[in-house]
Amino acid sequence: MKYDIQGEPMPVVICHLDAGETMITEKGSMVWMSPNMEMQTSGGGVGKMLGRMFTGESMFQNHYTAKGGAGLIAFASSFPGSIRAVPVTPDKPLVVQKSAFLAATSGVELSVYFQKKVASALFGGEGFLMQKVSGSGLVFLEIDGSAVEYDLQPGQQLYVDTGNLAMVENGVSIDIVTVKGAKNVLFGGEGLFHTVVTGPGKVTLQTMPISSFAGAIANLIPTKS
C-alpha cells in the first residue's frame, strides 16, 4: 500500500491499494474511492465493540478491500490539524487519544487503554479515556492543531493538560495526578487533573484539542436573556 497526505490544515490521506489489500476505518471517514473498493461492516466481537463504545468510537468498523485490481481510497480529517502515518508492530503498540484513529491497514487492532487510576480516568474528562493501537501494520492518526514531539529519557516527565496528549510510544507510562491546592483547583482554570507522562519514549502532543476549540467557541455565543 502506498499513500499520500495532502491538504493541511484540513488534510486527507489518499491510499493506493494493490488487489486484495484492505483498509479499516471508523464510520464517516471515507471521502472518495475507486469503484472496485468493496465495503464490509464488522464489529470484530462483543468485547472489541464494547471497548470502542467505551472510548466514544463507533461499535462497528468499515473494511474496504480492493477487488479485481488496484484500488484507491481517501480518508479525511474531521478537524483542522494534521494526519500522521505511524507503523505498528507487535512489540511497539501505541496509546492514542480516543478520537485520534482515522484508518489503518488490516492487522491493526484497537482496544481500550486502562489508566492506572480508574476513578480519575472515568471522571477526569476529555483525554483520560484513551485507545491502545496494537498488532502489525500502518495506522493513520488525526492530530488536532499542530503536533509537538518530545523524546523523553528514562524517568523524564511532562505534565500535560487535559486533551493535549495525542500519542505515546510503548514504554512511556501514563498517570493522572490531582492539581494541588484548593485555590488552584477553584480559580486556576486548569481543571482538576493533569496527565503525567514518564519516559523513556516518544510523546506527541497536540496544540488545539477539539474540546478546547469547542469551549472557546461556546464562550463567544451570546446566551438568551
Contact between 56 and 98 under an 8 Å Cβ cutoff? The reply is: yes
Residue 103 has which C-alpha cell? 484508518
Cis check for the bond before 93: say yes or no (omega within 30 of 0).
no
Which range (91-100, 109-118, 128-137, 160-169) has the least confidence? 109-118
Going along the chain from its start, the domains and CATH numbers come out as 2-220 (3.60.160.10)
Contact between 162 and 127 under an 8 Å Cβ cutoff? The reply is: yes
pLDDT tens-digit map of 195-217: 889 999 999 999 988 766 555 56
Calpha distance 48→107 (Å, rounded): 14
- Angle subtended at Cα 2 by Cα 80 and Cα 207, rounded to the nearest 5 degrees: 20
The whole model's pTM is what? 0.82
Query: Which residue in the block uniquely carries the three cell numbers 465495503?
Result: 39
pLDDT band at 134 (very low <50, low <70, confident <90, very high): very high
